[in-house]
Structure formats: C-alpha cells, structure tokens
Amino acid sequence: MAKFFLRKKIGDRILGGHPWVFANELGDSEGDCAPGDIVELYSYNGSFIGKGYVNPASQIRIRLLTRHKNETIDENFFYNKIKKAWDYRKSIGYTENCRLIFAEADGLPALIIDKFNDYFVIQTLALGIERWKEDVADALKRLFNPKGIYERNDVPVRELEGMEQIKGFLSDPFDTNIILNENGLKFHVDIENGQKTGYFLDQQDNRRAIQHISKGADVLEAFCYTGTFSLHAAHYGAKSTLGLDISENAVATARRNATLNGYDDVCKFEAVNAFDALKKWGTEGKKFDVVMLDPPAFTKSRENIDKAVTGYKEINLRGMKLTKPGGFLVTASCTNLVPPDLFLKTIAMAAKDAHRTLRQVCWQTQSSDHPIMWNIPTTQYLKFLIVQVI
C-alpha cells in the first residue's frame, strides 16, 4: 500500500478529525498507486494518521476513511459503516425517509445515500468511492432488501474527479416516480429527473416549524420547487398559499401534490421568475401574512461569496416588503460557503434597508439525519430562520 506524508507544520486540521487532505499539504510519498486506490497517510515524522482513497487529479488528494492502521477497507467495512449510520438514524427517529449516509459526517467521504422508504438513491462524488459503488449497493440489499436502488451521478462535481456524469439503476429497474409520506402529507418524488436526489430531505424538520404561523394566513412561497412548504402551510390551516417557481416541471408536480393531498382549493402555483414577481408585487404594494423564501444556492465557489450575499440581501429585502406588519418571514440558505453569522448579518442589513424590525421566532439548521460534525465545518450548510416582521 502506497504511503503519503504530510509536509512539516501541516496537519492540525487533519489530526483534529477532518478527512480531507489537499494536494499542497502533502510532501514525500513511497510506493506506487493508481487513482482511486486506498493509501496510507503519515505525519512528516512517520506517525500513522489514517487510510483513505487517493486521486492525483483532484485538489482533495486523499479522503480518509479510517484512523485505525489495522482496519481493512473491504466490502464488510462499507457494510458496517452503513449499518452504523442506519442505527444512528433509527435512534433519533428517522425510519421512513432520511439521508442514510451524509458523506464525511458518516465517515464515508463523497458518498450520499438518501432513503425514500423502500427506495434508495446513491451519489458517489469522488473516484475513490466510485470504486466501491457496487459494494455499497450490495450492503443496502443486505440491510434493507429494497424495492429499488438508483444512482444520481449526473452532477458536474464528478468531472473534477475525472469521472463522467451518469445515472441509472443499481438494482432491477423500477418505476422511479414514487410517493413518500412526510409529516402527515404525501409527495410525488421523481427519483430519475428531480433536483439532487429527487427530494430535499434536509428541510423535513423545518417544514414542521411553520405550523403555528400558517393558521389562517395568506402565504407566499417563492422558489417553491414541488410545493412542500406550501402544502405544509395548507395542512397547518393556511387560508391560501401561492407558490412560485421558474420550472414548469416543478410547478406541475406541485399541483399534483396539492391534488394528492386534497388542497387544490388552497394551494395555487405559478411558473414564473420569482425574482421578477417579488420585485413587481413589492412595487404594487401587495402583502402576505407569511412569506417563505428557499432559493437555490447563490454561489458554489468562495470567489462569488460577495455576489451571493448581495443576492440574499436583495431577495430578503423584497420578501420583507411583501410581509404585512406583524407577519412572518421564513427564509433559508443552503450553501456552506455563507456561514450562519454572515447569513444573519445579511438578513439584518435587509431589514435595515426595508425599514422593518425583526423578532426572531425560530433559528435552525438542516434536519438531524444530516449530522453536523464540529470538526468538519462543511457539514453544517443549511440556515433556516423564521422572524416576525414588525
């Protein structure tokens, strides 16, 4: 097994538990290896640190899997990791739908597995874990006897690892249009063509947080995707909801979800550019009791953080102007590149420019099946805020 050594004065972050080793943190190496192979990592003075997969084509050169020198990386290793992750989810109440594997947070870097009842969606986002994809699928079959397993590897980040974008079945073919249950509601999920893995499980706890502010309210949901927050608002007693999304397909699914749950009379959806609609209605003086904003990430790189902050400020300012005095703003950010303190600061700046005062009601992150590891800051990415707009 090839050995890699950290440069001198490099390693505090890695020794503290972070699994990523960047190319510029490495010095000498011994032995030959192929991209995707398991290699050993040592400190500059020869102390063993861990084992992980290597990829010379990636900026993240090594992703560590274990800190135990005698632990063998084989199919049983992945089975045991997945079983341990499943036991954890069950212990905190996630049994039907959950993120079963949240990559680094579950000790399996670059692996995502979402569980939609008896169906599983896998993403292998680094060359090293791609090599073990069939073993991961076999572990799921042993643990769950699932109705289907599908890979959603149609993501550009794979190209940074020298891999192609692909998607397809890792089990016998099945109907990829399924229905899942969440908080007493049902939702259509398009595993094959929906965003990410087909459904945003990371907001499932946050959707319950709108329960009390929705009763009797006229609700606006911008960037609604398939209408999950709107449907929850209706379920919790909203008088009316209006969901906006630029995607015709997403809006069509949102309408199907309204029909599925019997809320056609409450929930309406429009396929429009939400930015334009919010700006226009703000000028017209339109008002809602509750305004909900869950936009896509405004940046995927650190170079564009300033632009992202400008975008979040603008969209929240518009949302506040559409909120009745005493009404509520529900707002979220899904990128780890905008840390919580910066997000809150941005909301405060928007309130100042909108000449509105805010009262915090709820401040949360992603649902607990997406664990946050304090020694891996990127595992905390979602910010979810409810404020009263006075």
The token pair at 185 is 């509601």
Q: CATH number for the domain including 89?
A: 3.30.750.80
Instruction: Give me the DSSP letters along 106-166.
Output: GT-TTEEEEEETTEEEEEE-SHHHHTTHHHHHHHHHHHH--SEEEEEE--GGGGGGT---E
pLDDT score of 302: 77
pLDDT at residue 226 tops 90: yes
**Whole-prediction pTM:** 0.95
pLDDT of residue 19: 98
What mean pLDDT is predicted for residues 24-49? 97
Distance between CA atoms of 205 and 2, rounded to whole angstroms? 44
DSSP character at residue 201: G
Choosing from 130, 148, 174, the residue where a domain stops is: 174
Q: Last residue of some domain: 121, 145, 174?
A: 174
- Spatial distance between the Cα atoms of 319 and 220, rounded to a whole number of angstroms: 9
pLDDT class for 317, splitting at 50, 70, 90? very high
DSSP 376: B
Name the active-site residue from 33, 224, 267, 334.
334
CATH assignment at residue 26: 2.30.130.10
Provide the pLDDT for residue 303.
76
- Clarify whether residues 62 and 117 are in a common domain: no
Pick from 123, 150, 174: which residue ends a domain?
174
Flag whether pLDDT at 301 surpasses 80: no
Residue 7 has pLDDT above 80, yes or no: yes
Q: What is the largest CA-CA distance in the chain?
A: 69
> Would you say the C-alpha torsion 384, 194, 114, 263 has a positive or negative sign?
positive
Q: Are both 79 and 60 inside the same structural domain?
A: no
Determine which helix (DSSP H) or strand (DSSP E) holds 352, and give its type and residue range: helix 340-354
Q: Taking a C-beta distance cutoff of 8 angstroms, is the pair 188, 173 a contact?
A: no
**Whether pLDDT at 340 is above 80:** yes
Give me the mean pLDDT over the 168-187 stretch. Answer: 98
Report the number of distinct structural domains present in the chain.
Answer: 3
Segment 129-142 shows an average pLDDT of 98
pLDDT of residue 239: 98
33 carries an active-site annotation: no
pLDDT at 298: 76
* pLDDT score for 38: 98
pLDDT at 306: 86
Which regions of 251-382 does DSSP assign to beta strands (E)?
267-271, 288-293, 323-333, 358-364
Which domain, by its residues, includes 143?
Answer: 75-174
pLDDT, position 297: 78
